[in-house]
Amino acid sequence: MNGIEMKVEVVCYSGYKGDERPVRFRLGAQDYFVEELLDQWYGPQNIFFKVRANDGNVYILQRRSSVPEGEWSLESFRDMRRGG
């Protein structure tokens, strides 16, 4: 699935800055819980979060910071069960 943008619904932890980091996300009909935030970095108009979900796989979620609603997409997925 690398390189394919996929819409994703994300629930964030909101601290003093609001929408600080994802805690849960939905792809299709499946819900995933973020077990660990592995990395976070900023692009010119985006924020990226590399997370390990409760299925053991690694996901890179992108939030468009240039859009007030902060539209989310799935940027990358690695299936750790298959040696990803």
Task: Quote the tokens at residue 41.
Answer: 């970095």
Whether 51 is in a domain gets the answer yes
What's the pLDDT score for residue 82? Answer: 73
Q: What angle do CA 61, 59, 19 make, to 5 degrees?
A: 35
What's the pLDDT score for residue 15? Answer: 65
Whether 1 is in a domain gets the answer no
Whether 14 is in a domain gets the answer yes
Query: Does position 45 have pLDDT exceeding 70, yes or no?
Result: yes
Whether 31 is in a domain gets the answer yes
Q: What is the pTM of this model?
A: 0.81
Whether 12 is in a domain gets the answer yes
Is pLDDT larger for residue 81 or for residue 15?
A: 81
How many domains would you assign to the chain? 1
What's the pLDDT score for residue 37? Answer: 95
Whether 24 is in a domain gets the answer yes
Domain, as residue range, for 12: 6-82
What's the pLDDT score for residue 67? Answer: 72
pLDDT tens digit sequence for 9-33: 998 877 666 557 899 999 988 999 9
